[in-house]
Chains A and B, each alone.
Chain A
Amino acid sequence: MLVLALDTATPTLVAGLARRSTDGVTVVLAERAVPSGNRHAELLTVAVTDVLAAAGVTVADVDAVVTGLGPGPFTGLRVGVVTAAALADARGLPVIGVCSLDAVGSGARTVVTDARRKEVYWATYAADGARVGGPGVVRPEELSVDGPVVGDERFAERLGADVTPADVTTAGLLRAAAAQLADPSSAAPLVPLYLRRPDAVPPTSFKPVTTT
């Protein structure tokens, strides 16, 4: 089956196309990793068009869509999730959401990505790739890491550990979605992993316009 994979949980958007055989073997046909900062909404569908063209297929050939659900900065994250939902809906395809951190690196590791506000998103994985901790959001100083760390290397100093640079990949997204791709009816609804509440505080009292 031909799978379109998307992720906008980090400042580098990912769009990839992979062929997955019935025995689970995955071949990535085309991939774009675009450093797009906060321009995900502008560049994501352009990247999708590019990977379709690079693989010599059309959107009508796609059989399933996989998307990262974050955690990631909210505005950018939603771009990938809603794009995946809408593409899949328009073509009547299954859409599968995965934790974006699952698609960074492989094997036993702790993944850290930038959560802004001096915090990181994190998750920890066992040697077989199973997530055993997280996803969470924390100040790097408060994260006790044991074993290799991959992801955003800018946090090495504050973590007190080496960080091997790694990003979300198409292969990683497909690996994280393997079980649901084998049985698309098991895919859960697409709910982003926000991990933080919206910043909004109900006013307790309204101050008068006039001061006496």
Chain B
Amino acid sequence: MSIAARNEPLVLGFETSCDETGVGLVRGQTLLADALATSMAEHERFGGVVPEIASRAHLEAMVPTVHRALAEAGVQASDVDAVAVTAGPGLTGALLVGLAAAKAYALALDKPLYGVNHLAAHVAVDELQHGRLAEPSMALLVSGGHSSLLLVPDLAREVRSMGRTIDDAAGEAFDKVARVLGMPFPGGPPIDRAAREGDPTAIDFPRGLTGPRDAPYDFSFSGLKTAVARWVEARQRAGEPVPVADVAASFQEAVADVLTAKAVRACRDAGIDHLVLGGGVAANSRLRALAEERCAAAGIVLRVPSPRLCTDNGAMVAALGSRLVEAGIPPSAPDVGADSSLPIEVVTR
């Protein structure tokens, strides 16, 4: 590490908005540690994340995960210059464990605390891999909890919503279709795997909200999910075999098609030539491939963090915290709370 880099602030980031307990350490834009514990296995039999189970797991994992992050980075807690934590959006009970822990570390270390927006953190994490974000950029964030198209004029100060899902998150549609096809939860990875053997044009599933009068940047995945279920159930009722690979590939194609078409259109309409992908669904191989293809055709520079950094983690929160420190943004008030539906316009509160 260079001497200059050592002078940059060391930021400790906490993420507990869903089932991942993430603790990250970032110095400037350099990723030092990304420790993660997950309660995913405990939710599997429920077919979805159970908030109380996630919250209990966060509490158990918190201090050990901090220790792993410090060890991975080779630093002491006393070296930390600022603390950042996801203040929303997310599951309230889960958010509060991370928020309380972050506040306590900040108090004990006498360092400033930044309560930050989870979605903005998904954008910030890309800077750890690909350097400073072009501003303005467009960002497409898709996971089990969110599906948003964001305009980012200034990541530390101004993030605007271009569009969002009006019903299910894209990741939820993956989970529900996986269930219909008899695949495990979470549904993203098994559908991605099955789809590789299938024909994406086999079944023409609906593309939600793509009519001429529909909101150009909003998403809807509820109708798609229902269409897949109807199609599969009709086959089953007729006693015919379900072509699982073709269903998976055709469903995945419909999701990737709508997401990338709308993201590219938003870039074009706003005259923006940089697009960042983030969220767990950004790990989907077809979404990545189609985004690359369409961005290349449209002259848009596409930035996609590695799958590990696309899913929820503490490093993304530390990355945004680092940006806020650098920009001289005032820290959060001591009585900052969590907000399960924190608006995207609020980068830090």
User: A interface vs B, CB < 8 Å?
Assistant: 39-46, 48-49, 58-59, 74-75, 78-87, 89-91, 192, 194, 198-203, 206, 208-210, 212
Contact = CB atoms under 8 A, between A and B. Distances in A.
Contact of B229 (A78, A199, A209): A209
B96 A86 contact: no
B104 A86 contact: yes
A141 to B, nearest CB: 27
Interface string B219-241: 00000001001100110010000
A44 to B, nearest CB: 7
Contact of A42 (B53, B233, B336): B336
B229 A49 contact: no
Contact of B109 (A39, A83, A90, A201): A90
Given A74-B93, A87-B108, A210-B233, A45 B334 contact: yes
A39 B337 contact: yes
Interface of B: 45-47, 50, 52-53, 55-56, 58-59, 62-63, 66-67, 77, 92-93, 96-97, 99-110, 179-180, 226, 229-230, 233-234, 237, 334-338
B96 A83 contact: no
7 contacts: A39-B337, A44-B103, A78-B55, A82-B59, A86-B102, A208-B229, A209-B233
Contacts of B46: 200-203
Contacts of B106: 45
Contacts of A44: 100, 103
A208 B233 contact: yes
A41 B99 contact: yes
A74 B334 CA distance: 23
B104 A90 contact: yes
B107 A59 contact: yes
Nearest to A76: B96
Contact of B63 (A85, A200, A210): A85
B97 A78 contact: yes
Given A59-B110, A79-B100, A82-B62, A42 B105 contact: no
A194 B60 CA distance: 13
A32 B32 CA distance: 39
A86 B105 contact: yes
A163 to B, nearest CB: 29
A56 to B, nearest CB: 16
A46 to B, nearest CB: 5
B233 A200 contact: no
A79 B105 CA distance: 13
Given A200-B53, A209-B233, A210-B230, A41 B96 contact: yes
B223 to A, nearest CB: 11
A66 to B, nearest CB: 14
Contact of A209 (B50, B62, B226, B336): B226
B103 A83 contact: yes
Given A74-B93, A75-B93, A209-B229, A81 B59 contact: yes
A75 B96 contact: yes
A79 B96 contact: yes
A78 B107 contact: no
A80 B59 CA distance: 11
Given A49-B107, A78-B100, A82-B100, A42 B59 contact: no
Contacts of A46: 334-335
Given A49-B107, A87-B108, A210-B233, 14 more contacts: A42-B335, A44-B103, A45-B103, A59-B110, A74-B56, A79-B100, A82-B58, A82-B101, A83-B101, A89-B63, A90-B105, A90-B108, A198-B50, A202-B47
A203 B46 CA distance: 6
A133 B58 CA distance: 30
7 tightest CB-CB pairs across the interface, nearest first?
A90-B108, A86-B104, A198-B52, A209-B229, A200-B50, A42-B337, A45-B103
